[in-house]
Structure 1
Amino acid sequence: MDGNGRWAAKRGLPRAAGHRAGAEAVRATLRAAADAGVEVLTLYAFSSENWRRSEEEVTDLKGLLAYYVEKELETLHREGVRLLLIGDPKPFGPHLMERLHRAVEKTAGNKRLTLVVALNYGSRAEIANAARKLAEEAVEGSRDIASIDEQAIGAALDTADLPELDLLIRTSGEVRLSNFLLWQAAYAELLFVDTLWPDFDAKAFNDAISQFAGRQRRFGGR
Structure 2
Amino acid sequence: MSSPRHIGFIPDGNRTWAKSKGIHKFFGHLEGFNNVISLVKYVFANTDVEVFSVWGLSTENSLSRNEDELEYLFKLYEKIPSELDDFLQENKINFKLVGNRDGLPGYLTDFFVEKEKKFNFSGSNKTFVLAVNYGGRDEIIRGVKSLISDNVNCGNLVSKLDSDLLSKYLDFSDLPLIDLVIRTKGNKAKRSSGFMLWWIGYAELYFSDKLCPDFTSEDLEQVLEWFCDIQKDRNFGK
Band of TM-score, shorter chain:
over 0.9
Could you tell me which of 198, 202, 206 is aligned with 2:221? 206
Q: Cα RMSD (Å) of the superposition?
A: 1.7
2:163 aligned with 1:150, yes or no?
Answer: yes
Q: Deviations over 1:70-101 (max 9, x none)?
A: 33323322232210011123433222222211
Give the aligned partner of residue 49 of structure 1: 60
- Aligned counterpart in structure 2 of residue 73 of structure 1, from 85, 106, 115: 85
Q: Tell me the distance in 1 between the aligned counterparts of 2:15 and 2:182.
A: 18
* CA–CA separation in structure 1 for the residues paired with 2:58 and 2:134: 5
For 1:20, which of 24, 27, 30 is the aligned residue?
30
Point out where structure 2 has 5 or more consecutive residues left out of the alignment: 1-10
Larger deviation, residues 111-120 vs 206-215: 111-120
Q: Counterparts of 2:104 and 2:83 in 1: how far apart (Å)?
A: 18
Aligned to 2:3: none
Give how far 1:220 is off.
0.6
Distance 1:126 1:112, change over 3 A: closer
Post-superposition offset of 1:128: 1.4
Tell me if 1:122 matches 2:122: no
- Pairs within 5 Å for 1:145-184: 145-173=158-186, 174-184=189-199
Residues 81 and 115, structure 2, Cα contact 8 Å, conserved in 1: yes
Is the alpha carbon distance of 1:112 and 1:32 closer, same or farther for their aligned partners in structure 2, counting shifts above 3 Å? farther
The answer for the alignment partner of 2:104 in structure 1 is 92
Tell me whether 1:133 sits opposite 2:146 in the alignment. Answer: yes
Give the gaps of 5 or more residues in structure 1.
none
1:149-184: CA deviation from partner (whole Å, max 9, x where unpaired):
121122221111001111011110111111110110
TM-score by length of 2: 0.86
Which one of the candidate residues 208, 211, 215 is aligned to 1:193?
A: 208
> Equivalents in 2 of 1:145, 1:70: separation in Å?
44
Cα 1:129–1:143 change in 2 (3 A) is farther
Give the CA deviation at 1:196.
0.4
Letter in 2 for 1:16: F
Mean Cα deviation higher: 113-122 or 88-97: 88-97
State the Cα deviation string for residues 45-73 of structure 1 (Å, max 9, x = none): 11111121122211110111223333332
Equivalent position of 1:103 in the other structure: 115
Count of aligned pairs between the two proteins:
221
Q: Distance in 2 between matches of 1:204 and 1:142?
A: 52
Letter in 2 for 1:151: D
**Is 1:36 aligned to residue 43 of structure 2?**
no
For residues 81-136 of structure 1, the C-alpha deviation after alignment (integer angstroms, 9 at most, x for no partner) is 21001112343322222221121111101736210111111110111122223334
TM-score under structure 1 normalisation? 0.92
Distance in 1 of aligned mates of 2:38 and 2:221? 11
Kindly indicate whether the alpha-carbon contact (under 8 Å) linking 1:82 and 1:113 is maintained by their aligned counterparts in 2. yes
Same amino acid, percent of matched pairs: 31
